[in-house]
Amino acid sequence: MAAVRRKVMEVLEGSTVSPPPIWLMRQAGRYLPEYRRTRAAAGSFLDLCYSPDLATEVTLQPIRRYAFDAAILFSDILVIPDGLKRNVHFVEGSGPRMDPIDEDAIMALAPEGVLGHLAPVMQAVRQIRAELPAETTLLGFCGAPWTVATYMIAGHGTPDQAPARLFGYRHPKAFAHLLAVLADLSADYLVAQIDAGADAVQIFDSWAGVLGEAEFEAYAVAPVARIIRSVKARRPQAKVIAFAKGAGLQLATYRQKTGADMIGLDWSVPLSFAKDLQKDGPVQGNLDPMRVVSGGKALDEGIDAILEALGQGPLVFNLGHGITPAADPDHVTQLVDRVRGMHR
C-alpha cells in the first residue's frame, strides 16, 4: 500500500510542492456560520477548548468546507496560564482576562499538574487525527513564552505590551524565570500533542514585533529555541513551525537561532526578503488578511504575487496572521481555487 502523502509535511522536509499546500491561521473561527453555532452551544470559550467533541468539530469544519491541506487543533494559547491557575476567562467583545502576575507569584508558580489539566486537549488531538482525511496534516500549537507572558503580566491584551516590557526591565530575574517556566511547559505540551497524533506543531509569537533587538534575542529567540531543543531532544523527527509576527529584519537569523524547520511570515514581510529567507528553508505565509475580507481583484493580485515570488521554492500558502471574523467564506473559496489554479 502506498504511503499517505501529506503535502505540508513534504514542504516541512524541504520539498517544493506545486501548487503549494494551503491552510489558514484561525481557519476554524467566527467567519464560519457553523463555528458560530457550535460556539453558542458550548457555553464559554474555554468550555469549547476543553470539550474534545466540540474542539474536534470546529477543527474539522473548515476541512469539510475547503479541503485545506492541514487542520490546526482548535484551542487557545492561554490554556497553559489557565493550567497555572491564573483565572483565565474571556469577556465577550474584549478578549481574554486573567489575574495579573507579580514577582512573588512568578516564583511560586507550580507547573505540576498543568499537563493533567490539558488532558482534554490531547483527547481532542486523538479524535481529530482519527477523523481527518489521511492526507491532511494535523498541526498542534502553543503560544510562545513572550506572547503568553505579556497576557500574564498585564492580565489582558494591550496595544504595545508596555506592561510586560517594563516588567522585564524592572524585574529581569523574575521575568527570565517566567519565560523559562513557560518554555518548559510549552515543550512538554507540544510533545504530548505529537504523541497524541499531531504531525507537526507551530509556535505563535504574536507580539514579537514590539521588541527591540536585545529584547527580541532574550524574550523571543532564546525561549523558542529552548522549546524546540527540548521537543527535538525527545522527538527527533518532530517538525516545528515558528511564527514571530512583526519581527521584520530579525527574521534573517530567526530560523537558524531557534532551530525551526519552517518560519511563518506576516504580511509586512517584503516578498523580496521572503525569497531570501526561503533560500535557507521552507516559509509559510504571507497574504494580508484584509485581502480576504476584500475579495475580488485585491485577493487575486495578492495571491498571484506570493505564488510568483515564492512558488518555485518550499512554501506553505497561508495568511500573514489569522483570518478575521469579517471575512466572507466565499472569499476563502476564491483563495483556495486561485492557489490551486482552478480559476486562472
How far, in Å, CA of 275 to CA of 278, rounded?
A: 5
Estimate the share of the chain in helix, then strand, then coil, as percent rounded to the nearest 5.
55, 10, 35
Q: How many CB atoms lie within 10 A of CB 69?
A: 26
pLDDT in tens, 132-181: 999 999 999 999 999 999 999 999 999 999 999 999 999 999 999 999 99
Closest CA to 74 of 41, 119, 25: 25
Direct distance between the N- and C-terminal alpha carbons of the chain, in angstroms, rounded to an integer = 35
More confident of the two residues 44 and 315: 315
Structural domain 36-264, CATH architecture: Alpha-Beta Barrel (3.20)
pLDDT at 181: 98
pLDDT in tens, 66-106: 999 999 999 999 999 999 999 999 988 788 999 999 999 99
Q: In this structure, are residues 91 and 46 in contact, taking their beta carbons and an 8 Å threshold?
A: no
Per the annotation, the verdict on 30 as an active-site residue is yes
- Place 31 in a pLDDT band, splitting at 50, 70 and 90: very high
343 pLDDT higher than 70: no
Closest CA to 20 of 72, 73, 71, 68: 68
How far, in Å, CA of 199 to CA of 213, rounded?
A: 33
Kindly tell me the sign of the dihedral angle through the C-alpha atoms of 228, 183, 132, 196. Answer: positive
Q: Which of 39, 97, 226, 255 is catalytic?
A: 39
pLDDT at 213: 97
Per the annotation, the verdict on 151 as an active-site residue is yes
Kindly tell me the sign of the dihedral angle through the C-alpha atoms of 226, 114, 28, 130. Answer: positive
Domain ranges of the chain: 36-264
Q: Residue 147: in which H helix or E strand, if any?
A: helix 145-154
pLDDT in tens, 272-302: 999 999 999 999 999 999 999 999 999 999 9
What average pLDDT does this structure show over 25-39?
97
3 pLDDT higher than 90: no
pLDDT at 2: 58
Cβ within 8 Å of residue 233, ≥6 positions away: none
28 pLDDT higher than 70: yes
Q: Which of 26, 129, 255, 338 is catalytic?
A: 26
pLDDT in tens, 247-259: 999 999 999 999 9
The strands making up 240-244's β-sheet, listed across from edge to edge, are 70-72, 137-143, 200-205, 240-244, 262-264, 283-287, 315-319
Q: In this structure, are residues 225 and 258 in contact, taking their beta carbons and an 8 Å threshold?
A: yes
The beta-strand segments (E) located in 50-189 are 70-72, 89-91, 95-97, 137-143
How far, in Å, CA of 274 to CA of 262, rounded?
A: 12
What average pLDDT does this structure show over 28-39?
96
pLDDT at 344: 53
What average pLDDT does this structure show over 13-42?
97
**C-alpha grid cell, residue 103:** 514577582
How far, in Å, CA of 144 to CA of 224, rounded?
A: 7
Instruction: Report how far apart, in Å, the C-alpha atoms of 161 and of each of 148, 210, 243, 335 are.
Output: 11, 7, 18, 33
CA angle 157, 222, 89 (to 5 degrees): 25
Q: Which of 50, 66, 76, 82 is catalytic?
A: 76
